[in-house]
Every structure is written in structure tokens, then in C-alpha cells.
Chain A
């Protein structure tokens, strides 16, 4: 039964396993997500986490269901939502707590420490800040979400989120053409383009072609590779001259040479350590202690590798793109890179072991095997390591540390998405003052416009924000009457769920730190507040 269940899970999750792999799926299945408030937005977010198979969820919601909620029973909203969501995926276990988050914060704030991530939906400002502070101290990631009329809002608060597998969309290849490592040099040496027959000549990988021509170029140009457009153009021409000619002097059709010429632009870039990775090397977290998270131990190991075995470079990635070549030449070339990558990963792994030992952590054979595997994955991603640090909610809200620059520069365009952020803040004030949201009932709309405007002005004054908010937006937010239309809830549901999956799996890169979606114009913006 176990094997059958595993097989059917692999089939069920096949389409997503192709994105985050079995190890990503495992991290999801070990996660316990907390959702506060099972509104339309909340249940949509959770649906998109239950379907891909998170281990467990707990809904915290003290509300009873109202007619506006789709789950119109006389039941508690938490329970109704839990049952409906659990039915979506029998692999997931669901729980509910019929309690307001404020009560839990009063009586048992450590309740929230057990979760992999806490997602708070439609929270009033005071609750949000209280909860934010508890979660920040406990290093539990906090994702705040709101749907309000046609505007969606998300805020991620996590101190330090590390990502080894960021899966960048358009990464440059790591070919080491500029300073070939010894084994690659030897391999290049094994080719003699001038003495090859036509078949071999036309099926030589473009990497070798560029390498051979680069060798000649360097010897004739004082060891300086082609740098500017003019030099690269001359280099391309140099390669073109290497194309075989028939007995009439007409160049043959050699696609591999055309590939070489096309790739000159990107292939000759020196293998520098990306500045983003250099910045990580300079972080104080690289001073390893026994408390250091494994990401920093591995990063320090990569840094030490770069200084020693790597001769100033990161571990070789080990992959090459497909190219015109016969099977043997391609495989042999690929193996040169692969073997070097494995060698480099093993060296990094040794640094990891040494670092752990130096802080008193002894490695058993299981750990060492695991470490080797992790370092192999680390080597493949060394150029793309990322750390995301979001500011705390406290920092965002404090008059002393509010990000005035970001707000005022965005508001140079008074219709930028930043205006919605300010409107959300103003609406939160309105709620604090009047214990209700503006414009919920038709008769309130007109009067609430001036009341909301007062909140806007007091907000701008408190934070000394010299910006202008058009009256239209104040009117619009009263018009919304705190409505939570389903399509906006669903958009946010998908967006937030994927950010949560990024946090849980440590794959792909989460946003930093505020996301605004405008369904009126179908536009969005990410702000760092």
C-alpha cells in the first residue's frame, strides 16, 4: 500500500514535481501553515496550498459566517472552511481554532511558533502589528494579505530567507573559456582543427572552436581577450575564416562554426564572482558558530573554496548547452565539465566538514554523504545564491524608520500603485477610529469620504509625507465598502500561495516586501517599505 500510495502521489503531483523536484515536494509535505481568517481571500490562498500537498494547515478564525461569506451555514467559519479545504486533498491534514488571533496573542502567543509560515488575511492594523512582532522574534515568516475592492495587497515579513535554488530564468552559461581549468585545457589540446577531416571538423563543438581561436588570439594580442565591439567583431571574423572551403574556395556549410560566431558575445565574459554573491561573502553570518544555519556554513565553504582551490572562482557549474556536434565529442566535452564540477563540489564539501568540526560538530558518515549531495546542488547554483531580508512591520510603521524616500519618489506619479498602499494605511486608521470600514452601507458612502480624507491627512502628517493623494482614490475606497470580490481574492490567492511555497521550499525568490495588485488596470508593483 505504501508503494502504491507513493506511486499515485508521484503521478498526482507530476506536473509540479517538474518545477520543484522531489526534495521541494518533501519540504511542502513537512510544512504546517497557519491561516488567520477564512475569508474568500484566505480560503483561496489555502486552496492553492492544499492542492499541491502541504503537510498540514491550521485555520485561526473567531468569526461566525455571514451571508457575504460563501460558506453560509450557522457554523463557525473556521470549521466550515477546514472541512471544505480538506476535502480537496486527502494527503493534507487540516485543523481549526475558533478563536480570534488577538485572544491567542493575549493568552498563548507561543501558539504561533510551531508554524512554518503564518498567513494573516484582512487583519486590522493593531492585530497585524502585535502578531508581526511575535513572529519576527520567533523567526517565523509572516505573510500579510488583503483584498479590498479591486485592490490586492501582500506584505512579507521575514528576517532572513536564504535561497540556494533560485532557478533564474535567463542564466548565462559557466563555460570557463576565458581561463580554462587544467582538464579543460588538456581537452582543448587534444583537438587539432587543421588536421581534421570534414566530418569531424563540422561536428566539433562550438566551445572547442572558440577555445582554439581564443588561444591564437591571446598569443597575438598580448594575452588580452577581445573586449569591445570592434575586437569581438574581428574575433568573429577570425572564426569565420576557420570554416573549411571547398576546392573552389567557397566556404562549406558548417553550422557549428556559425554557432561559435553567434556565441562569441556571451561566451568570452570572464568568470567573475557575481557582486550579489560577493556581498554574501562579506556578511557577518559567514563567521561560523555552532548556531550557524547550514546555508551560511555552505556559503563560507564556497568562499573558502574560491580563495583556495577555485583560484578566485566559484565551483564549476558542470553543465553545457546542447550544440551541433557528434555524440562522442559532445559527451567527452560534457564529461570534462561534469567531472570538474564534481571535484569542486567535493572540495567545497571538505570545507563544510572542516568548518563544522571547528565549531564542535562531528560529522557521521550519513551527514557526510548528505553534505556531498547538498554541495553538488550548491555547486550547480553557486552563481545564483540569494538572501532576501525584509524589514519588519515595526520598522515600516515607525515614524523613525518609515521609508519616506520610497513613498515620495513613487508618488511623483500620483497614480502609481503606491497610492493604494497609502489608502490601505488610511483605511486602517479609519477602522481604528470608527470600529468599522468606510462605506460598507450605501448611506455611509458620502459622509465617509470626508472622514476618510481626515484619516489620509493625519497619516501623511504623522509621517511627514509631502505627497498628494487625489480625492478620486478616497472616493473609490469608500465606494469599495470593504468588499472582497471573488476574482480579486482569487488573484491574491494564487500569488500569495506561491510566495508561501517559495518560503517553505527555499526555491525561487520571494518578493521583497510589499506587492500591490490593481484589478482595474491589471497592473501591479512591488515596493520595498
Chain B
């Protein structure tokens, strides 16, 4: 069909144009051309009044950036695509990208490294292919994986890590990973073990970019209160007192679907399956009609089920650009990096606000001081679990608590493995005293929000 020929023809034409760009060598790289890095050289080879105090103009910085500097981009979505382009066009040639997702049609309004024919393929792979074929000399290595599937050895190899994530849990995990790589000698932090983390986030017309020097400046968990916990609708509203169309949709998602298993036993609601959404939409309309509620639409249904956050190309472009500028500053030492948090909003004009987020003294992630947990010996374990998940400074998702009791390592409660959950569930209604815990003892807590176990100290109150 003529329709499918056109995009392919255009794509081939573009590859053709790109190939023409590669002229001859110079500086040993076979992909350079005259003037290619003129813009950047002005910042690396000239002195200036606003440069970083440690900056010395030289031709070596460009070499470092082109040949040695290794950058990791986390996420190949709205921010990730922009970041890969920005970094590639700024002279970074050794880039890795991690993303566990595949491409969806709704990504194409902003994730411009992807085309309709790529729908269904892994984002990391397609993004890498695109950059590698269009930016001569740039080498992007894709990892179609979860960040949790990669280990210390992997992360340690990078000079700078930039995140374009859409999940706070993932950010905290990344934050925890880089903190775990820090080396202390006689209580002094070895600066060579610090990997700067540049983190960007967007939502509609709002965004933020921040620079984190693990162990030195405010980390993600230091400012956890800036990310208020997501509020879900109360169960009684969903179950018996709906007022908004959203309540009707949640009813179907949370209560009706598990009850009716419309697509088979054990089949989980898949927000990306139009048939699933259609079913939820129809049932939501019925629910809404029962209560004389208007406003249920297919678009709203999908939005609620998938927790969709609206997104446009422009905000992602702005935030990624700010992050990439920071990567450049840190890699080249040309300017003092952002210190350390910038907020952006272009709903009404354009607004930015830049401030220094402060480290939290007792930050659960970076303060290195074991946190105290204050409970009476007659408190139930459930109370401790509630505290770990509900406290604004911890916001754990499904903590697993272990302790050394009578010389033996005992799992007090673990949610993520069904058999262990069942076995340890009775512990939740036991008191801390009944569980054999003593004043001052250490508790180890594992959770998705951190790659390392967190240590707490139990302090009995009277």
C-alpha cells in the first residue's frame, strides 16, 4: 500500500542524508568533519570569567568527552529520547541506556526516536539504533532490562548517570545504588567513588531537574516530602458511595474485575489491552448509571486504569536539555553545576525556580546513621509495618523485616513471596515482646525503594 511505502521511503532518504555527512578522518576518528565541534570547543578551549574555579582550557577535554567519558541514561521514554539526542549532539560518544518498556503508539507524540513501525519493540533497542545510525561516531549500548536487573559492577563503570524515570520507587532505588558504591576511608568519603546523578522529571507542563552528588549533596530521600504519596480513593467511596466518574471506574478495576474475571481466571487487567479497557468502560458506565453519575468516557477510563499522566514534547525537551547541560558542565568542569534543584512550569508564561535542596540529617538513605524506631514492647508488628509504609520520610512499599532473635536470623514479615507471607502473617498481630525482640536491637528492612537493606535500631518506649 502506498501509505506504508511513504514512511519507509522517507526514512531511507534520511539515512542517505546522514551517510553523506561522514567525510574523512582527523583526530583518529573516522566520523568527524570540519567544524563539527566548533560550538563546544569554545567552552572547552577558551578561558572565561564564569568558569568553574578548577577549569583550565585545553584540547584534552574534548578528547575526554568524545572518547572516554561514559554516560548512563536511565529511561528511553519522553526524557530519555531527548537526553540521548542532547548528549550525542554535545559530543558524548559512549552512552548506555536502560529501559524495560516496549514502544506504544501513545509514545509517538514525544518519544521521537520511535516510529509507528517500531510499536511493540523495546525502547532501549530502538533508541540506540536510531542514535547510532544518525549521529556518526556516537555509540549507544541498549539494555532492555529493569534497573534492578543490573548490579554494582555495571553501574560503577559510568562517569555520570542521568535519570529520565517516571517512578519514584525507581528513582529511590537508583539513588540507593549510587550511595552503596560510595567508599569511605577512615570515615572520609573518597571523591573518586562518587558518581553524579542528574535526575529529571516531568508531568504535563511542569518539570524539574536536579543534580545529586551522592554522599555530598541532598539525595532523593532527603527530599522525599517533595513527592507527596499518591492518594488513592477510600474504599468505602469506591464500594458504596461513588460520586465521581473516577470512583465508578475504580470500582470496576478493583472490585468487579477480580470478581468476574472476564477474560479468564488469573488474567490481570492490562491497561494496554483495548479489549480490557472496553470491558471496564462498559461496566463503569453501568455503575455510573446506577448512581446518576455522568462523565465516564473511554479516555477517562484508560486514564484512571493506567494512572496516565498527560505529557507533551515541549516539557520533556526543556527538562532533558537542562539535565544534559549539567552533564556537560560536570564532564567538562567548564562551569559550576546547578546547585542543586530547578523547577519549571509553563502553564502561565514560563516560570523557573532554582534552590539548594538541603541534606536531611537523619535521611533514611544517605545519613549512614541507623534510624531509631520507637515502639512500646506491647505494640503489634503491624504498627511497625504501618509506620514504615505511611511515614512521609520513609514511604516504603512492601517492607520485609528481619531480626536476629536468640542468635538466629528470623524473618518477621515478608510480603513479596506468597508462601513466606502466609507463614509470617500471624506475626503481624503479635506484640514485639512476644516476637522476642529486645530494646536496642537491630532490625534489617528490605524494600523495592532501596537496593540495600536498611538498618534500624529498636528503642522501646515505656
Q: Do A and B come from the same complex?
A: yes
Which A residues are closer than 8 A to B by beta carbons? 8, 11-19, 40, 44, 47-48, 51-53, 66-68, 70-75, 80, 83-84, 86-90, 149-150, 166-169, 203, 322-323, 325-328, 330-331, 334, 439, 442, 445, 471-473, 475-476, 479-481, 483-491, 493-495, 497-499, 501, 508-512, 515, 517, 519-524, 526
| A481/B42 in contact, CB under 8 A | yes
Q: How far is the CA of A90 from the CA of B336 in the complex (A)?
A: 42
| A487/B328 in contact, CB under 8 A | yes
Q: How far is the CA of A88 from the CA of B46 in the complex (A)?
A: 37
Which 10 residue pairs are nearest across A and B when measured between Cβ atoms? A67-B35, A494-B317, A494-B318, A490-B321, A472-B49, A511-B349, A491-B321, A498-B314, A18-B310, A330-B243
| B352/A522 in contact, CB under 8 A | yes
Q: How far is the CA of A71 from the CA of B319 in the complex (A)?
A: 24
From A47, A327, A485, A520, B50 is in contact (CB under 8 Å) with A520
| B109/A167 in contact, CB under 8 A | no
| A487/B90 in contact, CB under 8 A | yes
Residues of A near B314 (CB, < 8 A) are 48, 494-495, 497-498, 501
Question: What are 21 A-B interface contacts by the 8 Å CB criterion?
Answer: A15-B109, A47-B112, A51-B110, A68-B35, A73-B21, A150-B325, A439-B42, A445-B46, A471-B49, A472-B50, A481-B46, A483-B38, A483-B43, A487-B321, A487-B325, A490-B317, A494-B316, A495-B314, A511-B350, A515-B350, A522-B338
Known: A83-B13, A493-B317. A12 touches B105 (CB 8 A): yes
Residues of A near B110 (CB, < 8 A) are 15-16, 51-52
Residues of A near B442 (CB, < 8 A) are none
Residue among B7, B89, B312, B326 with the highest chain A CB neighbour number at 10 A: B312
The 0/1 profile, CB within 8 Å of A marked 1, for residues 126-158 of chain B is 000000000000000000000000000000000
Residues of B near A53 (CB, < 8 A) are 109
Beta-carbon nearest neighbor of A8 in chain B: B105
Beta-carbon nearest neighbor of B323 in chain A: A487
In the complex, B342 has a CB within 8 A of chain A: yes
In the complex, B292 has a CB within 8 A of chain A: yes
Known: A19-B204, A84-B14. A12 touches B108 (CB 8 A): yes
Q: How far is the CA of A524 from the CA of B243 in the complex (A)?
A: 42
Q: How far is the CA of A188 from the CA of B175 in the complex (A)?
A: 53
From A480, A484, A522, B209 is in contact (CB under 8 Å) with A522
Residues of A near B46 (CB, < 8 A) are 442, 445, 479, 481
Further contacts, 15 of them, CB under 8 A, given A489-B321, A522-B209: A14-B308, A15-B110, A16-B109, A40-B89, A47-B313, A83-B17, A480-B42, A483-B43, A485-B40, A487-B321, A490-B324, A491-B317, A498-B346, A519-B322, A522-B325
The 0/1 profile, CB within 8 Å of A marked 1, for residues 13-37 of chain B is 1100100110100000000011110
| A327/B347 in contact, CB under 8 A | no
Q: How far is the CA of A40 from the CA of B319 in the complex (A)?
A: 17
Q: How far is the CA of A204 from the CA of B46 in the complex (A)?
A: 70
In the complex, B254 has a CB within 8 A of chain A: no
Q: How far is the CA of A489 from the CA of B13 in the complex (A)?
A: 25
From B23, B40, B317, B342, A522 is in contact (CB under 8 Å) with B342
Task: List residues of B (52-105) whose CB comes within 8 Å of A's CBs.
Answer: 82, 85-86, 89-90, 105
Q: How far is the CA of A40 from the CA of B90 in the complex (A)?
A: 12
Q: What's the least CB distance linking A50 to chain B, in Å?
A: 9
Residues of A near B345 (CB, < 8 A) are 169
Residues of B near A14 (CB, < 8 A) are 106, 109, 299, 302, 308
From A73, A485, A508, B347 is in contact (CB under 8 Å) with A508
In the complex, B271 has a CB within 8 A of chain A: no
Beta-carbon nearest neighbor of A203 in chain B: B241
The 0/1 profile, CB within 8 Å of A marked 1, for residues 231-270 of chain B is 0000000000111100000000000000000000000000
Q: How far is the CA of A517 from the CA of B42 in the complex (A)?
A: 19
| B10/A476 in contact, CB under 8 A | no
Beta-carbon nearest neighbor of A500 in chain B: B314
In the complex, B291 has a CB within 8 A of chain A: yes
| B244/A322 in contact, CB under 8 A | yes
| A80/B17 in contact, CB under 8 A | yes
Residues of B near A72 (CB, < 8 A) are 20-21, 23, 33, 36
| A327/B293 in contact, CB under 8 A | yes
| B350/A168 in contact, CB under 8 A | no
Which B residues are closer than 8 A to A by beta carbons? 6-7, 10-11, 13-14, 17, 20-21, 23, 33-36, 38-40, 42-43, 45-50, 82, 85-86, 89-90, 105-106, 108-110, 112, 116, 204-205, 209, 241-244, 291-293, 299, 302-303, 308-322, 324-326, 328, 335-336, 338, 342, 345-352, 354
Q: What's the least CB distance linking B213 to chain A, in Å?
A: 16
Residues of A near B23 (CB, < 8 A) are 72
Known: A52-B109, A497-B313, A521-B354. A486 touches B86 (CB 8 A): yes
Beta-carbon nearest neighbor of A18 in chain B: B310
Q: How far is the CA of A296 from the CA of B421 in the complex (A)?
A: 66
Residues of B near A75 (CB, < 8 A) are 17
| B348/A519 in contact, CB under 8 A | no
Beta-carbon nearest neighbor of A471 in chain B: B49
| A476/B204 in contact, CB under 8 A | no
Beta-carbon nearest neighbor of B136 in chain A: A72
Q: What's the least CB distance linking A19 to chain B, in Å?
A: 5
Q: How far is the CA of A71 from the CA of B21 in the complex (A)?
A: 7
Residues of A near B49 (CB, < 8 A) are 471-473, 475-476
| B310/A90 in contact, CB under 8 A | no
From B116, B310, B352, A16 is in contact (CB under 8 Å) with B310
From A71, A87, A442, A490, B10 is in contact (CB under 8 Å) with A87
Q: How far is the CA of A8 from the CA of B42 in the complex (A)?
A: 45
Q: What's the least CB distance linking A266 to chain B, in Å?
A: 20
Residues of B near A44 (CB, < 8 A) are 317
From B82, B89, B317, A497 is in contact (CB under 8 Å) with B317
Residues of A near B319 (CB, < 8 A) are 494
| B112/A73 in contact, CB under 8 A | no
Q: What's the least CB distance linking A244 to chain B, in Å?
A: 18
Residues of B near A472 (CB, < 8 A) are 49-50
Residues of B near A88 (CB, < 8 A) are 112
| A509/B33 in contact, CB under 8 A | no
| A90/B6 in contact, CB under 8 A | yes
Known: A331-B292, A497-B314, A498-B346. A519 touches B303 (CB 8 A): no
Q: What's the least CB distance linking B196 to chain A, in Å?
A: 15
| A52/B241 in contact, CB under 8 A | no
Residues of A near B325 (CB, < 8 A) are 150, 487-488, 491, 519, 522
| B109/A486 in contact, CB under 8 A | no
Beta-carbon nearest neighbor of A526 in chain B: B349
Q: How far is the CA of A197 from the CA of B25 in the complex (A)?
A: 87
| A479/B311 in contact, CB under 8 A | no
Q: What's the least CB distance linking B440 to chain A, in Å?
A: 37
Q: What's the least CB distance linking A411 to chain B, in Å?
A: 18
| B50/A483 in contact, CB under 8 A | no
Residues of B near A521 (CB, < 8 A) are 338, 354
Beta-carbon nearest neighbor of A330 in chain B: B243
| B50/A476 in contact, CB under 8 A | yes
Beta-carbon nearest neighbor of B35 in chain A: A67
Q: How far is the CA of A519 from the CA of B90 in the complex (A)?
A: 14
| B17/A494 in contact, CB under 8 A | no
| A526/B243 in contact, CB under 8 A | no
Known: A15-B109, A90-B6, A481-B42. A494 touches B354 (CB 8 A): no
Known: A16-B109, A491-B325, A522-B338. A48 touches B243 (CB 8 A): no
Q: How far is the CA of A526 from the CA of B45 in the complex (A)?
A: 32
| B313/A494 in contact, CB under 8 A | yes
Beta-carbon nearest neighbor of A334 in chain B: B243
| A479/B328 in contact, CB under 8 A | no
Beta-carbon nearest neighbor of B345 in chain A: A169
Q: How far is the CA of A84 from the CA of B16 in the complex (A)?
A: 11
| A15/B312 in contact, CB under 8 A | yes
Residues of A near B347 (CB, < 8 A) are 167-169, 508-509
Q: What's the least CB distance linking A475 to chain B, in Å?
A: 5
| A325/B299 in contact, CB under 8 A | no
Q: What's the least CB distance linking B198 to chain A, in Å?
A: 11
Q: How far is the CA of A15 from the CA of B85 in the complex (A)?
A: 22
